[in-house]
Structure 1
């Protein structure tokens, strides 16, 4: 009799036994997979979602390809589960694939074979009933849940606000409901949800219905035929009657009735009818430079002090505002004021607000202008006008603020000019910063300075001599200044030049990093830092002003970025398009020169049609 002298070392018999077990296990793994298919419930209706269950016993040859199901079914999602068991030394493996589907039509449908590599599932025949049959007891008399959609305008103008109303009618309680977002074909449509959902009760055909109402604001960006896909409402509705688990019966309360009862639910999908829009182009009757359509639009102004009683050197603030009903914030123009000699005008950053009400989008853009008179006299600020299209009356209208007269008294003030100012002379002037002649009987400051009293000829002589001495001293100072600059020019001039010109290479890298990080605020900051290097004159100081200087698609993305930052964070923007479009400006491929003849208000959107 043999004996194992080394207890720690396995014998040949033990090794053989282990090998046999491993071979048996391996053999059970490599057996051909057996595949079956069935539905989770029967019968099924065309408006119901259900599950196709593929059960695979063994290891399939490959991953499943469910694309053949798309012919007669809409595949909504897939999941899988695995189970491994060993019984009497034999291992078995079962994988279940759950495919959520929605029938595309009623009638006799075929679930085709699904390939798992070289392994395939069998074909399954099933009957899909119409939506009016196979109802639960709660819906036996008709549809228990249905949906209605409608718009306030079927033929809007391009970029006009359209209100989409979705109403869900129900006579039963459901669970886990979700509604799809509006999707359009034929052109881009900006979609924004309006406020919170409304819930109320409504009588229809002698029956009481619970209604959930949701509203959207639609802004079609292209004229022509647009079609909206049917909206889909996925929910779980009761299947069969409720079974009471409480000995006290019903509490007549939904919470307690659900808690003390058991009820099964089934998936259901409700679809709305399709919807179409016939978007009209810009009408020929519109004569504005840029297209702007609204339900109502007003220009407003306010002053910190009375403009009829101003003093030189003392600032006054004029606030301009555009209030537009049915317009997105990105469509509003930038408010500007022209520079007038004798006045220094400093614009503040715009303050924008976009409000979503149950009636639509209400946008407000306001801007403050600090006005500092430097010379006494009478000045006229020109009228502020903005042409827009009234979507209610179907006609062109002009929002207008009348010209404003400013009366200024006091001595001449030396106020530094604003950056990138563009003075527009109201009357011919003799030298820099001389004010225009005042209308009527008013006298210019220069005339006041040289007017002598009767018998004062000596004063005029001394005045002329004093002016001559001042001129000589000024010339001597200028000569000394030029000489000092030449002496230090080789060292000082390059430093000053470097300090005045932005480091464009660093700014381009900064913009690229912000785009890659998806940081909207950093992208805006980089764009505004780059602007002085791209527009040497009349540098734009906002995204809206920058968009007015360039063509699409850069202008569109700049406006989207502005709306994302200041109006609606859900608005998408493309940083790569912005970066590539800005780089094209370096080579002069897309830059526009500002139009001096353009109106005071510059709408952001070009004519679209």
Structure 2
């Protein structure tokens, strides 16, 4: 029963089983004479620093740095460390950055494109400080994500300073990520460049004027200035104002409107077979050029006949390359068949607008087909038994769900996954199955229990049988650490006997004041802008030994026969 309980809880949570160590470049393409920063992030021991020795053949390494912080992990607090090193290429062309060893893990390999020609000198080159700004597309569409980059060039050390990019009228402007810092040779001088990235989204068509970016700061005092008590020179720089020509929404644009440079889909992994009652894993990946994660529709699978789909939260990897945003979305789905026989998954499809080609396009995954096998050693008629049990559950489910439980397979879920109501139905079905198994084993070992009993005594025995079903505490702790807040609330409500109808009922049913307050913190994190990290820690501590329930009063059945016979369902 413990293994089944673990599967039951893990069916509705996110395991987050993705790499804990990653590497990335602050830019993927640079010009001759420039440097690039390589970052490596790892979660683990403080002693796990990356081995940069394989890079020395193609790069000159300098200005290495590191920092660490404590973050919530699967088993409590963990150490997350980030290491950075400045790379100056020894040659031009495509340079492969190999996988780097970090403790017992390795990073993914990367690639850097180095142009053989230096970049054109910007306006203002030759001065101590100057600033420029540019867009990746001068003729974007309405609601297209435009990469906006502001670069500050400084040939002298800076003591303090501020970069300001005013927001244009008729568009939104949002800063993206951290500033990138590198070196560049311009007009015979060596400059330190601070590059700040923004996401510019036009809200209406027509001319869009973007105000000039500004810099105000102070240079570090030289040796003579320090002796004379000076504090450095005041520095100011102003970029040229820019103007964009925003195009209107095309007449043949697909809906939802999704203007992009490119979109590709692929299966990261697919199950080789499906078996009734067993969970199989399917992972989908979308790579998008020209948007961030917040602008994209959710990755959802089409419905699969005879299969329940449990989606996990989307994993996002946002970046900024070639002057515009890019993102990689990865989502894992658990597929749980409820019947035998053939089934088919129609490929996921996403329609979008090609901003470079000016035409609608579509990206799709190929369809997949399986023949669902019976459960291990189970006869092919097992789905019919399951359907009969679902019918018996009809009276215990809410109205709309009861009708479906009696007349349709549980896999008839809406596109893209299973709703919280169906998750509750699955949990009820599993709880009833477990209780029935315990009862059957009890009868087999205690034949005397087959004798008739008073109705009130039988009700008490049934209640005790339900209470004897244990809660898998390790799985519950893992769910609190990894699942999203909606899943946590759904599972906690379903662990009550009978299940709590809503969060208010859940709070009333809990006997421990600390657990009731933890559920309230969970509600604030879900709906009221509360602290999610603190709520998760509070839940972890309060439910460390499992939930503590108040006793639910049982109404004793009358020993007298009913005045009228029960009415048959119509």
Q: TM-score range by the shorter chain?
A: 0.3 to 0.5
**TM-score, L = length of structure 2:** 0.44
Structure number with greater Rg is: 1
Scaled by the length of structure 1, the TM-score of the pair is: 0.42
Higher RCO structure, 1 or 2 (CA under 8 Å, sep 6+): 2
